[in-house]
Amino acid sequence: MNAISIAEAQAIFDDRNLIAVGARGDEQRRRRHGAKTTFVRVLEVHTDAVPSALPASASAGEIRVTGKPASVTAAVAAIEAARTLAGSIPLSAYSLADLLGLGGGTIAGLADLLPRLADAGLEIVAEAPLDVLPDPIAAVGAARGAGLQIPRLTIHRIAADARFRLIALARDLQSAVGGVRAFAPLARVDPVAQPSTGYDDVKQVAVARLLADNIESIQVDWALYGPKLAQVALTMGADDVDAVSALEGDLGRRRSPLEEIRGNIKAAGLEPVERDGRFRDRSVGRR
């Protein structure tokens, strides 16, 4: 199936028949992945307070450094500490837009900064917000040139008149640079003046699956959007869930984040598969 056009995406999104829209996204999703639905447990640590040891209850497939570093020196120090903390666990950090700013706002400055972070132990830039980066293709290309992975494209804030342009940009970036494993098409920040609705959110997921045809996975954020919306999104085109808590807590195994995400995926008629930050099946090697 060829990718739809932006005009077709608009027509699908405007369709009031939510079931029909979801069916189109789900059909394309199942053509690619069948019932397989991946998820990753992430332990987030702030750039200003990287702990010296992992919590006893943590079982992470990815360690993610969050926040905006105050300086290049602070960023390098945080990555070095996080690399020691993570050990063999995949390590991701930061927004590519924040790193661009740290590099002086130029691609040349970014290209100088990124190798320093790679040498400190960084392997994955956590997100690349398409709507914030002035030239996403050049910025992602600079990261790839430094040996860093950019497996996930994101959107920081969506204006109603830009939603399909941003999805098409994700598709074009993948064609130009490659290496993208997942696209998260839902905004991480909801505009106060025009807040999104769950109705529009799940249609956005379906349209993203149809329009961004060269990106392997459409992703929904478990921590940001919650179990209910994530579960519906999985039936309308999404096949990957980010940011499941890596902490088991004290509510017992049956109510742990791991069992909750597995249960939600199974309740949607799908097959849960835990992956790590490198998109590798975590069950491999456990058997």
Query: What is the DSSP-derived secondary structure letter of residue 5?
Result: P
pLDDT in tens, 53-97: 999 989 999 999 999 999 999 999 999 999 999 999 999 999 999
pLDDT in tens, 108-157: 999 999 999 999 999 999 999 999 999 999 999 999 999 999 999 999 99
Q: Is the pLDDT of residue 273 over 70?
A: yes
Over pLDDT 70: what percentage of the chain?
Answer: 94
What DSSP letter does each residue of 6-17 carry, written as one string? Answer: HHHHHHHHH-S-
Region label for 90, one of left (φ > 0), alpha (ψ between -120 and 50) or beta (otherwise): beta
Distance CA 231, CA 49 (A): 33
Mean pLDDT, to the nearest integer, of 219-237? 93
Whole-model pTM: value is 0.93
Q: Is the pLDDT of residue 107 over 60?
A: yes
Mean pLDDT, to the nearest integer, of 278-282? 95
Residues 6+ apart with CB under 8 A from 13: 21, 163, 164, 200, 203, 204, 207
Going by their DSSP bridges, the two strands 91-95 and 124-129 should be labelled as parallel
The fold of the 6-275 domain, in CATH, is TIM Barrel (3.20.20)
Of the candidates 186, 125, 122, 151, the residue with the CA atom closest to the CA atom of residue 38: 151
